[in-house]
Amino acid sequence: MNREPARNAKPIVFLSHSSADKELLAPLKDLLHKRAAGAVRFFLSSDGKSLPLGQNWIVELQDALAEAKLMFVFLSRNSVDSHWVLFESGVAYGRDVKVVPVCLPGIDFDSVAPPLSHLQGFNLHSNDAMRNLARVCNEVIGIEMEEAFSSDEFDSIFFSAGLEAESYFKRWTPFISEIIMRVEAEDILLDSPMPRMLLLRHKDLRMPRILLTNKYSINLAHSIKHEGKRPHSPVQPLRFQVPRTI
Amino acid sequence: MKNDLHGTFTPELFHLHAPAIDMFCASSAYKPPVQAVVHFREGITMVNERHRLSTLLYKSEISFVGDRLWKFRDQRFSFEQLRHAALRLEVHGKIESLPLYDLLAVLFSRNVIQETSVDF
C-alpha cells in the first residue's frame, strides 16, 4: 500500500506517553520545539497538533513511528503499566529507533520493570535532568540544541506533577478540595504562642517556594469556644497566613 | 473554656503539614483526637445509605461498627454529605500514619466514591 510522502523531512522525535499526561507533556514538547528552532518534529500523539484533524490516526502514528529517529518513553503513574506505551516502544525498538525511558516525578527508574528497565533511561525530576533530553536529541539527531534548562522552566512544567507524586493522597489528590483539621485544648491563654510555633515549624521544614503563593498557603485560625452560659460563638483572635516570602 | 485550633489544608501539601501538626500536638497543650474532615471536590459523588454501603463494601477491609461509624484497619470514620461529599475522621494517633490513600483506594474501587464529571 502506497502512502503519501511524509509531511516534511524533519527528523522525528517520538514522545510516547499516556494520554492522561498530555497536558503535562504538551508544554514540554513546545519548549523542546522552540529549543530545536523547528529543526525537529516532536511528535506527541495526544496534543491535537501532531495529528491534524481529518488525518487517519493510526496511519499517522505508524508513519511517525516508522520515521522516528528517537523515542522518549515518558513513564508516570499513568503510563508505567500501559500496554500501549509498551507497544509503541516495542515497535520503535524493533525498527532500531533509539528508545529512552524517562521517568516523570513520582516514578523512579530503579523501580521500572523489564523490558524498559533494560534500556538506558533517566529520572526527569529536576532541571538538571532535563539537560539529558536535549543532550540525547543532539547526539541522535545531530543538532546543536542548547542543553541547559532553568529551574523555572522545570517548575513551570513539572511542579504540579511533583506535588501530586509526593502528595499524601497521591492519585486521589485531584478529587479532594481541602482538609479541615480541628484540635482542642483546655485552658490555654488567648495569646498563646502555639499557632505561631506551628508556623515556625513549617518554616523549619523548608517548604517549597510555591507554598508561599496564595494558592498553597496555609491558613490557620485560632478560635475560642465558650461553654456553659455563653452562646457557642467562635471568635478568631488570631489568624495566620504564611508570608509570601521567608 | 476550650481553645480550638483549626486550619484548612490543601491536599497537595498535606504530606508536609501532617507531620508538622503531629509535632505541634506532641509539644503543646493541644492533644489528640484531631478532628479531620476530607472534603471532596464538586462532581465527586459518594454513597451514604447504610444498606447500599454494606452491599458495596461486603468482604472488604471496611466494616460497620455502629452509630454511623465505619472502620478501616484501626481508623474509624463516617461518610458525610456536607456541601459536597466528605469523610469525617477522629484521629487518635499520628495524622502522618493515617491510611487515607489505602482507604480511598478501597472506596473508589468499590464505587462508594465516584467521579461524575471531570472539571478540575
| A235-244 residue pLDDT tens | 222 333 333 3
Chain B residue numbers touching A242 (CB-CB < 8 A): none
Chain A residue numbers touching B39 (CB-CB < 8 A): 176-180
> Chain B: residue nearest A159 by CA?
B12
B98: left (phi over 0), alpha (psi -120 to 50) or beta: beta
A16: left (phi over 0), alpha (psi -120 to 50) or beta: beta
> Chain A: residue nearest B85 by CA?
A176
Look up the pTM and report it.
0.51
Pick the CATH number of A12-164 from 3.30.230.10, 3.40.50.10140, 3.40.50.970, 3.30.70.100: 3.40.50.10140
Domain positions in chain A are 12-164, 180-241
Q: What is the pLDDT of residue A126?
A: 80
Encode B37-80 in three state secondary structure: EEEECCCEEECCCHHHHHHHCCCCCEEEEECCEEEECCEEEEEE
Chain A residue numbers touching B44 (CB-CB < 8 A): 175
Q: Say whether A188 and B18 touch across the interface (CB within 8 A).
A: no
> Chain B: residue nearest A164 by CA?
B12
User: Identity (one letter) of the amino acid at B89?
Assistant: L
Residue A230 has pLDDT above 60, yes or no: no
Residue where the block lists cell 487518635 = B92
Question: From the list B3, B33, B37, which residue is nearest A188 (CB)?
Answer: B3
Q: What is the pLDDT of residue B113?
A: 92
Under a CB-based contact definition with an 8 Å cutoff, are residues A189 and B33 in contact?
no
Round to the nearest angstrom and report the end-to-end CA distance of chain A.
65
Encode pLDDT of B85-107 as tens digits. 999 999 998 888 889 989 999 99
Nearest alpha carbon to residue A244 among A211, A199, A220: A211
Under a CB-based contact definition with an 8 Å cutoff, are residues A179 and B86 in contact?
no
Cα A191 to its chain centre, rounded Å, is: 42
Residue where the block lists cell 521567608 = A246
Residue A166 has pLDDT above 70, yes or no: no
Q: Say whether A181 and B6 touch across the interface (CB within 8 A).
A: yes
Chain A residue numbers touching B12 (CB-CB < 8 A): 160, 163-164, 167, 173, 216
**A127-141 vs A22-35: helix axis angle to the nearest 10?**
60
The complex's ipTM?
Answer: 0.90
**Residues with Cβ within 8 Å of residue A66, at least 6 apart in sequence:** A95
Rounded CA-CA distance B110/B115 in Å is: 13
Question: From the list A169, A183, A215, which residue is nearest B104 (CB)?
Answer: A169
Q: 3-state DSSP call for residue A240?
A: strand
- DSSP assignment, residue B7? E
Under a CB-based contact definition with an 8 Å cutoff, are residues A140 and A120 in contact?
no
Count CB-CB contacts under 10 A for residue B49: 10
- Residue of higher predicted confidence among B24 and A51: B24
Rounded CA-CA distance A223/A192 in Å is: 11
The interface residues of chain B toward chain A in range 58-77, judged by CB-CB distance below 8 A, are: none
Q: Say whether B5 and A226 touch across the interface (CB within 8 A).
A: no
- What's the rounded mean pLDDT across residues B33-56? 91
